[in-house]
């Protein structure tokens, strides 16, 4: 199994990260992809990825909730990091738009998203997109890239069938599914049958969005197996089939050996 989105470098894991990593490996997780948040998270992100270099792979990007008045300064730091460690970062992420908490910086979020999409094309890297209460805005931004080689993941997808079909219009984009699919009130089990399994990747978004039966606890990469089991149930496939297909899809996106 591959966890395409996990924040194991956060403070929530400072006391037991070796045990968390051991449980992930024991569960069968072979790769963990870690998105950056802003300038303050680069050092802890790289520290964890260097300590577990065979398993953990860093991305670089500015998260939309970190877009404030100083967004140009933050972008300069991200761009310098990308240029300096271009062979180390495997994606631009996580980027996108988030209008759930605040719409103050809506225009700035659009500017930052476009800038980072351009980096992805320039460096031939995938993007990992965060979308919360902002799908229509992100879709409009992506329209300008429809006929480019831009590729990536819509992380933590919880949208409608119509939104899923809109993502599928972009042939190089995938849909990231995490523990939300196991929630009692989740609509994902009704939406996913309209998405080819080959366009799905799995994630945890640790320490957030813990799947049933551990909802309410801190999430970790080993819990991805519960998301896998639910996705297998939805598609009427074996867990082994879903694991093989989603893992192959993820590795191909990130340009890594099968």
Q: How many domains does the structure of the chain reveal? A: 1
pLDDT of 241 reads 98
Where residue 149 sits, what CATH number does that domain have?
3.20.20.140
Domain extent at residue 188: 2-253
Own/partner long-range contacts of 37-44 (Cβ < 8 Å, ≥24 apart): 37/7, 37/62, 37/63, 37/66, 37/94, 38/62, 38/63, 38/66, 38/74, 39/74, 39/77, 39/78, 41/9, 42/77, 42/81, 44/9, 44/10
**Helices 135-143, 161-168: crossing angle, 10 deg rounding:** 20
pLDDT block averages, 10 residues each, the chain of length 258: 98 98 98 98 98 97 97 98 96 97 95 98 98 97 96 98 97 98 97 98 98 97 98 98 98 93
pLDDT of 257 reads 85
pLDDT of 229 reads 98
pTM score, whole prediction: 0.97
What is the rounded CA–CA span in Å between residue 70 and residue 64? 13
pLDDT of 258 reads 79
214 in any annotated domain: yes
What is the CB-side half-sphere exposure of residue 124 using CA atoms within 13 A?
2
258 in any annotated domain: no
190 in any annotated domain: yes
142 in any annotated domain: yes
């Amino acid at each position: 199994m591959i966890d395409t989105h996990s924040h194991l470098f956060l403070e929530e894991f400072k006391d037991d990260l070796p045990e968390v990593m051991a449980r992930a490996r024991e569960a069968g997780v072979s790769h963990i992809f870690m998105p950056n948040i802003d300038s303050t998270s680069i050092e802890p992100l790289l520290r964890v990825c260097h300590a577990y270099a065979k398993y953990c792979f860093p991305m670089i990007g500015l998260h939309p909730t970190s877009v404030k008045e100083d967004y140009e300064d933050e972008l300069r730091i991200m761009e310098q990091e990308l240029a300096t460690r271009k062979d180390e970062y495997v994606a631009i992420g996580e980027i996108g738009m988030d209008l759930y908490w605040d719409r103050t910086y809506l225009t700035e979020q659009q500017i930052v998203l476009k800038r980072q999409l351009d980096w992805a094309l320039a460096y031939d890297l995938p993007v990992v997109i965060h979308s919360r209460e902002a799908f229509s805005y992100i879709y409009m931004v992506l329209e300008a890239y429809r006929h480019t080689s831009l590729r990536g993941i819509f992380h933590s997808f919880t949208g409608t069938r119509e939104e899923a079909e809109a993502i599928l219009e972009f042939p190089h984009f995938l849909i990231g599914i995490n523990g939300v699919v196991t929630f009692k009130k989740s609509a994902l089990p009704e939406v996913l049958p309209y998405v080819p399994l080959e366009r799905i990747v799995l994630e945890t978004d640790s320490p957030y969005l813990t799947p049933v039966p551990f909802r309410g606890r801190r999430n970790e990469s080993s819990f991805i197996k519960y998301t896998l089991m639910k996705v297998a149930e939805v598609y009427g496939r074996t867990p082994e089939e879903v694991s093989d297909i989603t893992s192959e899809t993820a590795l191909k996106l990130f340009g890594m050996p099968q």
